[in-house]
Amino acid sequence: MRNHTRRTTRIATAVAVAGALGLGLAACGSDDDSAKSGSGDSDKALVVAASPTPHADILKYVQDHLAAKDGLKLKVKEVTDYVTPNTATQDGSVDANFFQHKPYLDDFNKKNGTDLVPVTAVHLEPLGAYSHKVKSLDALKKGATVALPNDATNEARALKLLESNGLITLKSGAGDDATPSDIAKNPKNISFKELEAAQVPRSLDDVDAAVVNGNYAVETGLKPAKDALVLEKAKDNPYANLLVVKDGKENDPRVKKLAKLLHSPEVKKFIEDKYEGSVIPAF
């Protein structure tokens, strides 16, 4: 079982690796990757690091259909992990990122001494439990194995989903950094396999069930609204995904333009039509 210290060490190590290797990001906009766009100069492209699905998809919709007429130059860089976008935003390699919810951002800032801030909430990706072997959580046998995302807030979020559906009971006071060690009751003696979030959906053939982040579910061909055994509810959900910048860049005119476009009726319709309930607008 992974404890709080091990998790902190892993994030710190990942930050060091990200810093040493630089940005291994795939550009989805202009081919000019040479300039840092930290000045707020409206003539420069706003560079945003984003998870491929749905974040980069949403940004590319803005880039292709809305940005030019609003005078915004936008460059999207796809990132497949949950550390590099924040370290890159902090050091100015990119201007903003779009991949995370507030509990994860708060946890990252606390553990890494960063000063990243949310600009606006854009959408919710409901976390869901999936299985290739059973049709319901109730059908899991004693001693079954369930895979979980291993980053701090998403692991707690996954455990809370399982608790709300009767599979486990967490200890009183278990918060946004809960781990399997915080389970008070586990009547089916479930074993938990903790994996990097992107790897969880790929484990479905090897485990009895898995709790998968919405973006990785969609990216691997799962349809949360249809395929999930159980799915998070949208009402009062604190896990809406955010446009994030380094503290002080909220007033960058380019950031303000992007935030406005991300809340446009066109983007809302794009999200609703493309994802059919698997991704939900948060505005």
Indicate if the pLDDT at residue 4 is higher than 90. Answer: no
d(CA 197, CA 125): 14
Structure tokens at 185: 């009751």
Give the pLDDT of residue 206.
Answer: 98
Write a three-state SS string for 54-108. HHHHHHHHHHHHCCHHHCCCEEEEECCCCCHHHHHHHHCCCCEEEEEEHHHHHHH
Residues 74-90 have a mean pLDDT of: 97
Rg (alpha carbons) of the chain, rounded to whole number: 19
Residue 57 half-sphere exposure, CB side, CA atoms within 13 Å?
A: 15
Indicate if the pLDDT at residue 43 is higher than 90. Answer: no
Question: Residue 117 — φ and ψ, nearest 5°?
Answer: -135, 150
Give the pLDDT of residue 18.
Answer: 40
User: Coil, helix or strand for 147?
Assistant: strand
Better-predicted residue by pLDDT, 218 or 47: 47
Cβ-proximal residues to 156 (8 Å cutoff; 6+ apart), any chain: 103, 174, 175, 176, 177, 178, 179
Indicate if the pLDDT at residue 26 is higher than 70. Answer: no
Q: Please state, in angstroms and as integers, the Cα–Cα distance from residue 50 to each residue in 26, 59, 85, following that order.
A: 10, 8, 7
Total-model pTM: 0.70
Give the pLDDT of residue 41.
Answer: 66
Question: For residue 281, which of 122, 126, 55 has the smallest C-alpha distance?
Answer: 122
Residues 81-103 have a mean pLDDT of: 96
User: pLDDT tens across 186-231, in order?
Assistant: 999 999 999 999 999 999 999 999 999 988 998 899 998 899 999 9
Give the pLDDT of residue 8.
Answer: 40
User: pLDDT tens across 238-265, in order?
Assistant: 889 999 999 999 999 999 999 999 999 9
Set out the domains of the chain in order of their start, with CATH numbers.
4-126+238-281 (3.40.190.10), 128-231 (3.40.190.10)
% of the chain beyond a pLDDT of 90:
71
What H or E segment, with its residue span, contains residue 256? helix 253-262
Give the pLDDT of residue 237.
Answer: 82
Indicate if the pLDDT at residue 70 is higher than 70. Answer: yes
Question: For residue 128, which of 247, 280, 281, 283 has the smallest C-alpha distance?
Answer: 280
Number of neighbouring beta carbons within 10 Å of residue 277: 14
Mean pLDDT of the chain: 87
d(CA 47, CA 35): 10
